[in-house]
A and B are shown apart, each in its own frame.
Chain A
């Protein structure tokens, strides 16, 4: 059974904290993605990675960074959390190319207070 696992389902952090969201996949996928989901805005791509140590900015990278040191793990980092980063964060992985479906984690509901 294919799996994408996000380290936390719910997270509460204080403004200014450095926050790490971890994502691990067991399918040997080249591509990994981080999205945030907000009502009325759909899923917006923050960053994606198409290989180890390779990354590309998505549509809303400001305030975020990523790390991919191993193929199976893709981390999203909020350098200094702010209340406007309160959101649902979804991680996904897929094979490289235009045809493969993406598999999603269960999501992390992050609240910044």
Chain B
């Protein structure tokens, strides 16, 4: 079963507008972490934002915020005031304390990604 689901293969947004990228996750762990990464056309993976499962406040980093709804198991990324340089692939990821065998610690799995295109 897919642990991380990103249902939007592609999204378009006008420059200076806000955009929300969707992410849902599946875990039975109580302790886990949620991440968003950006991958521009150059291929590098850039860490954007982190949300811990016990954090009560939604995480924010500059123009990025994470809309964390624990009961719905969703962790959507909101980018405010989009810029042309925001055009990239965006990945949602989850770190679980324990894997299927119960022996792992910090396993990191990713979703399928969403390609964001910002129009001028």
Contacts and interface: CB of A to CB of B under 8 A. Distances in A.
Nearest to A59: B109
Chain B at the A interface: mostly helix, strand, loop or mixed? Answer: loop
Interface residues of B, number: 31
Given A43-B91, A104-B44, A106-B44, A99 B50 contact: yes
Interface stretch (B13-21, B66-74, B77-85, B99-107): B99-107
Contacts of B52: 98-99
Contacts of A103: 47
Interface stretch (A13-21, A70-78, A89-97): A89-97
A95 B109 CA distance: 15
Q: Which 8 A-B pairs have the closest CB atoms?
A: A42-B112, A104-B45, A43-B110, A98-B33, A101-B47, A98-B95, A42-B113, A56-B104
Given A40-B9, A98-B52, A98-B97, A50 B106 contact: yes
20 contacts: A33-B108, A40-B112, A42-B6, A42-B112, A42-B113, A43-B91, A43-B113, A44-B110, A50-B104, A56-B99, A56-B107, A58-B107, A58-B109, A92-B45, A95-B106, A97-B97, A97-B105, A98-B32, A99-B95, A106-B43
Contacts of B45: 90, 92, 102, 104
Nearest to B103: A56
Interface of A: 30-31, 33, 35, 40-45, 48, 50, 56, 58-59, 88, 90, 92, 94-104, 106-107
